[in-house]
């Protein structure tokens, strides 16, 4: 399916230095500046200032390279003269020494300049797709829309699940801390059913099963676009002390890493994986209702879709992944809206992103349950993941896409709150899940 690239476990660093096309960045400077401004990223003004200097830095580096080349030619000529006539040794010694010293100084300067350029290029977020709105999400379509959306505190999933012995938040708080939980009995069974259902649908859509690790090297995490702090200044990643590793916030990280330093065989179409893993988020939201129950937690099970494709196929694949997510949410009977997310909500790697938000009556608002993004070649450049272009015979960077097939806790929340009938104290199990719950129709 793919060819294995360079890899050695004897080195701490496994990723090669990313190769950026500085000429393209200079050519599209206005687009990159717009991407930084529209995303409203932390450190944006400073990055804009550094980006503004990249053209002059590139010219300076090239000029230094030319000066070094001229100096090298001069040194070779002096060395040739010395070989032909050793009597010139005293006369040429000082000139050779000065030439060597000048070469070292110039080489150090150009190396520093190239490193500065590389650092700016590595810090740039992806360019933004032309369809992305600025600051407010746009509704792409509705799934099972309702005539009205009323808040109903009696449908709060926390109280329902506690009364039915499906979850225990207090014990988890005592054992681990806030924003952790135990799923018990039918609650745990519901997680199993949701994971099985999502895997089943993803498999039918052509995704291959994968169980990825939940720990990755920091360089892999960074290459995916997960910075130490996100756009809201919240810590995302749990970094493991005294190691170069962190807990993955999503299986996307380990799945993307599977393609690191490899040449993917895309001659038979895109490579699509669906991975199930535990995911870890250091941030757990602001104080208040987001931290109550299952909506925003530190650890959860997530079924993730990941795809490597040829550049010309990635927009079509994004539509396919979005359609699969809509199919899954619709099958669960949830009322939801599909949103084309604005520039200021995009992570560094995403060029375009769609979220699905389901109605959660106990919370009294819509809440995100899936997301899918096209990252173009942002991740593949940093991961050194390529494919062979059969038309040109050259190795080129793949496009990567990721999407949520099932974020378990939030979907449990939505299923419980939307399926609960306070009259007879039952929760309707969506029909698509019943085969994974022993045929049971109600809790």
Per-residue pLDDT at 7: 36
CB 317 within 8 A of CB 307: yes
Average of pLDDT values for 122-142?
A: 96
Shared domain for 329 and 194, answered yes or no, is yes
- For residues 299, 302, 308 and 314, what is the CA-based torsion angle, rounded to 10 degrees? -110
Shared domain for 89 and 153, answered yes or no, is no
Least confidently predicted of 49-58, 104-113, 179-188, 285-294:
285-294
Q: Is the pLDDT of residue 228 over 60?
A: no
Shared domain for 349 and 425, answered yes or no, is yes
Provide the pLDDT confidence category of residue 8 given band limits of 50, 70 and 90.
Answer: very low
Shared domain for 111 and 152, answered yes or no, is no
Q: Is the pLDDT of residue 399 over 50?
A: yes
Per the domain annotation, does 14 fall within a domain? no
Per the domain annotation, does 29 fall within a domain? no
Annotated binding site: 250, 281-283, 297-300, 304, 368-371, 402
Q: Is the pLDDT of residue 301 over 70?
A: yes
Shared domain for 321 and 405, answered yes or no, is yes
Per the domain annotation, does 23 fall within a domain? no
Average of pLDDT values for 21-50?
A: 94
State percent of the chain over pLDDT 70: 89
Per-residue pLDDT at 1: 41
Per-residue pLDDT at 5: 34
Average of pLDDT values for 318-344?
A: 98
Per-residue pLDDT at 87: 57
Per-residue pLDDT at 12: 64
Domain range spanning residue 87?
Answer: 42-123
Per-residue pLDDT at 103: 80
Higher pLDDT: 285 or 425? It is: 425
Per the domain annotation, does 330 fall within a domain? yes
Average of pLDDT values for 195-211?
A: 98
Q: Which residues pair with 235 in a beta bridge?
A: 229
Shared domain for 94 and 207, answered yes or no, is no
Higher pLDDT: 240 or 85? It is: 240
Q: Is the pLDDT of residue 362 over 70?
A: yes
Per the domain annotation, does 76 fall within a domain? yes
Least confidently predicted of 70-84, 193-207, 382-396:
70-84
pTM exceeds 0.85: yes
Per-residue pLDDT at 229: 45
Shared domain for 110 and 148, answered yes or no, is no
Domain end: 59, 92, 123, which one? 123
* pLDDT, tens digit, 9 for 90 and up, residues 97-106: 777 777 888 8
Domain end: 100, 123, 146, which one? 123
Annotated binding site for L-serine: 250, 281, 304, 402
Provide the pLDDT confidence category of residue 70 given band limits of 50, 70 and 90.
Answer: confident
Positive or negative, the CA dihedral 331, 337, 338, 341 is negative
Shared domain for 49 and 105, answered yes or no, is yes
CA dist 102 → 66, 109, 235 (Å): 14, 11, 46
Residue tagged 């799923």 (tokens): 183
Least confidently predicted of 184-193, 276-285, 413-422:
276-285
Shared domain for 244 and 382, answered yes or no, is yes
Least confidently predicted of 19-28, 74-83, 121-130:
74-83
What is the number of domains present in the chain? 2
Least confidently predicted of 54-68, 324-338, 375-389:
54-68
* pLDDT, tens digit, 9 for 90 and up, residues 233-275: 556 899 999 999 999 999 999 999 999 999 999 999 999 999 9
Per the domain annotation, does 1 fall within a domain? no
Shared domain for 68 and 192, answered yes or no, is no
Domain end: 123, 147, 182, which one? 123
Give the CA diameter of the chain: 108
Shared domain for 182 and 77, answered yes or no, is no
- Summary mean pLDDT of the chain: 90
DSSP string, 240-301: PTTSSEEE-SSHHHHHHHTTTT-EE--TTS-EEEEEEEEEE-S---SSSGGGSTTSS-SEEE
Shared domain for 370 and 291, answered yes or no, is yes
Annotated binding site for ATP: 281-283, 297-300, 368-371
Per-residue pLDDT at 131: 96
Per-residue pLDDT at 383: 96
């Amino acid at each position: 399916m793919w060819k294995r690239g360079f890899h050695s476990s004897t080195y701490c660093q496994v990723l090669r230095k990313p190769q950026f096309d500085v000429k393209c960045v200079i050519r599209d400077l206005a687009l990159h500046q717009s991407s930084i401004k529209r995303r409203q990223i932390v450190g944006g003004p400073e990055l804009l200032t550094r980006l503004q200097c990249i053209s002059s830095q590139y010219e300076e580096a090239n000029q230094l390279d030319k000066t070094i080349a001229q100096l090298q030619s001069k040194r070779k000529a002096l060395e040739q003269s010395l070989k032909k006539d050793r009597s010139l040794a005293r006369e040429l010694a000082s000139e050779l020494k000065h030439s060597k010293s000048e070469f070292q100084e110039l080489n150090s300067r150009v190396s520093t300049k190239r490193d500065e350029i590389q650092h700016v290029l590595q810090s740039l977020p992806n360019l933004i797709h032309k369809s992305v709105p600025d600051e407010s999400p746009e509704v792409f379509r509705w799934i099972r829309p309702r005539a009205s959306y009323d808040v109903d505190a009696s449908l709060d999933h926390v109280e329902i699940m506690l009364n039915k012995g499906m979850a225990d938040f207090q014990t988890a708080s005592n054992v681990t801390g806030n924003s952790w939980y135990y799923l018990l009995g039918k609650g745990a069974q519901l997680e199993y059913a949701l994971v099985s259902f999502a895997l089943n649908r993803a498999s039918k859509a052509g995704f291959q099963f994968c169980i990825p690790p939940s720990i990755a090297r920091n360089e892999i995490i960074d290459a995916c676009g997960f910075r130490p702090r996100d756009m809201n200044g919240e810590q995302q990643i749990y970094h493991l002390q005294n190691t170069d590793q962190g807990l993955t916030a999503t299986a996307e990280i380990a799945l993307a890493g599977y393609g690191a330093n490899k040449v993917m065989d895309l001659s038979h179409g895109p490579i699509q994986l669906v991975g199930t893993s535990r995911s870890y988020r250091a941030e757990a939201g602001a104080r208040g209702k987001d931290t109550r129950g299952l909506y925003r937690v530190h650890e959860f099970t997530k079924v993730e879709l990941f795809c490597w494709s040829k550049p010309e196929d990635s927009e079509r694949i994004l539509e396919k992944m979005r359609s699969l997510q809509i199919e899954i949410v619709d099958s669960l009977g949830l009322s939801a809206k599909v949103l084309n997310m604005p520039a200021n909500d995009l992570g560094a790697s995403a060029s375009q992103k769609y979220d699905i938000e389901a109605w959660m009556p106990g919370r009294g608002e819509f809440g995100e349950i899936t997301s899918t993004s096209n990252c173009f070649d942002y991740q593949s450049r940093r991961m050194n993941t390529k494919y062979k272009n059969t038309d040109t015979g050259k190795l080129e960077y793949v496009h990567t896409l990721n999407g949520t097939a099932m974020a378990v806790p939030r979907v449990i929340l939505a299923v419980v709150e939307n399926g609960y009938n306070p009259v007879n104290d039952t929760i309707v199990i969506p029909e698509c899940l019943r085969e994974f719950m022993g045929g049971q129709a109600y809790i």
